[in-house]
Amino acid sequence: MEYVYAALMLHKLKKEITEENVTSIVKASGAEVNEAKVKSLVASLADVNIEDAIKAAPVAAAPAAAAAAPAAEGGEGKKEEKKDKAADGKKEEAAMEGLSSLFG
C-alpha cells in the first residue's frame, strides 16, 4: 500500500512517477523498499491517467446524520447500526476493488 500512496503523493505534487522517486518516498516513510514492487508499480502506471482514475473511483462516505439517527431512537438503534456497519464494509470493499483495478 505504501507504494500506491507514494505514487499518489508524487501525482499530487506533479512530480514524475519514477522508480527513484517512489523508492525515496517509501524510504522516507521508514518502510523497507521492495525493488520488484516499485518496478511493477511504475510499469503498471505508465499507461494510466491517474487524474481520470481518481475521478472515476467510487467514494465511500457515511453521512453524519445517518450515524446520529440510530442513537436518537434508543433500542432499535443498535440493530440498525449493525446493518449500517455491514453496508459500509461492502461500500469500502467496492472502493478498494476500484483502486486495485487502477494499479494492475
Average pLDDT value over all residues in the chain: 78
47-83 burial, b if ≥16 CB within 10 A, otherwise e? Answer: eeebeebeeeeeebeeeeeeeeebeeeeeeeeeebee
**Using one digit for the tens of pLDDT, what is the confidence trace for 13-47?**
999 999 999 999 999 999 999 999 999 999 999 99
pTM: 0.55
Structural contact between residues 57 and 102, judged by C-beta atoms closer than 8 angstroms: yes
Higher pLDDT, 7 or 64: 7
CATH of domain 1-56: 1.10.10.1410
The pLDDT score that the predictor gives to residue 58 is: 82
The pLDDT score that the predictor gives to residue 93 is: 67
The rounded distance, in Å, linking the Cα atoms of 36 and 4 is: 14
